Amino acid sequence: MKNNNNTPMVSVIIPTCNRDRLVQEAIASVLAQEFKSFELIVVDDGSTDSTPEILGSYGDAITVIRQENRGVSAARNAGIAVAKGELIALLDSDDLWMAEKLAVQTAFFQQHPDALICQTEEIWVRNGVRVNPKKKHRKLSGMIFEPSLALCLVSPSAVMMRRELFSHVGLFDESLPACEDYDLWLRVGCRYPVHLIDRPLIVKRGGHEDQLSGAPGLDKYRIQSLLKLLDGDLLSPEQSQAARKMLKEKSSIYASGCLKRGRGEEARYYLRIAGPV
């Protein structure tokens, strides 16, 4: 969908659950964008705090979808399902955007009509203190599938996509309680370049108790994602070889952790996935 001046419309989707203060700040960073051709969809994933009342106070400035608690993947997918824009931008409810974020990314897509996805650089803040990402978190541009196997190199809050991308790779996997972004970006990255705009246009905030990325045992879900990917037909022989190597590595490490915690049956399962040493 385009406006009369041929400017593309962006659908901004914020999933949230019980983050009443944080989601207000996220919404404010969207409403302050220099680029104004957007709709803002906030999906309330079963909040029990004051989030529903806060979202209701914005009136027609935002579109609110309320659903029973089904997780972040289902919330994002619900927003994508009603989005009207030809471009989709995601924002986690604990993150913030710089005022020029949408303007820079929409300009990128207008200048690169074949691009399907791009992301920006980011500023990391942990417990209110700015921190520097480690070297392993360094974002890359282009065909990033193999570097992304070890850990997720794409941030949902930094991404903008043409909505047609989802028809090629599918939506977020609602069976994954975490690492759903790792799963989607691998499906994207094995087929399409992920372009990087080398400007920090988001503030990625962490350290709070409910942050999924800080939960223990996340490799279990990355292993599940790799198994699913290897069972499909998306990968080239080289990509398949790299994915199998990473599957072996992650399964071995996870099995070792299970053994240390006395979870023998679970350890044996992941050792079978890892295969012979």
Same domain, 104 and 241: no
**Reduced to 3 states, what is the DSSP secondary structure of residue 5?**
coil
% of residues, the chain, pLDDT over 70? 94
Say which amino acid occupies 74: A
The whole-angstrom distance between residue 262's C-alpha and the CA centroid of its chain comes to 33
Looking at the structure, tell me whether residues 83 and 104 fall in a common domain: yes
Phi, psi of 111 (to 5 degrees): -85, -20
Query: What is the pLDDT confidence band of residue 2, given thresholds at 50, 70 and 90?
Result: low
199 part of a folded domain: yes
Is 174 in the same domain as 92?
Answer: yes
262: confidence class by pLDDT, cuts 50, 70, 90: very high
Residue 114 shares a structural domain with residue 230: no
Neighbours of 28 (CB within 10 A): 11
pTM of the model: 0.92
Residue reference for tokens 């969809």: 41
Average pLDDT, the chain: 93
Q: Which whole number is the average pLDDT over 120-137? A: 89
Cβ neighbors of 257 (< 8 A, separation 6 or more) are 217
- Pick the last residue of a domain from 177, 194, 211: 211
Same domain, 70 and 158: yes
User: Does residue 1 lie within any of the structural domains?
Assistant: no
The tally of domains found in the chain comes to 2
Same domain, 202 and 239: no
- The predicted-structure confidence for 147-173, as pLDDT tens digits, reads as follows 999 989 999 999 999 999 999 999 999
* pLDDT tens by residue, 30-74: 999 999 999 999 999 999 999 999 999 999 999 999 999 999 999
CATH of residue 54 = 3.90.550.10
Cβ-contact 118, 199 below 8 angstroms: no
pLDDT tens for each residue of 191-249 = 999 999 999 999 999 765 655 555 558 999 999 999 999 999 999 999 999 999 999 99
* Distance separating alpha carbons of residues 232 and 240, to the nearest angstrom: 10
**173 and 269 share one domain:** no
Q: Which domain holds residue 89?
A: 10-211
- Has residue 3 been placed in a domain? no
16/119 same-domain check: yes
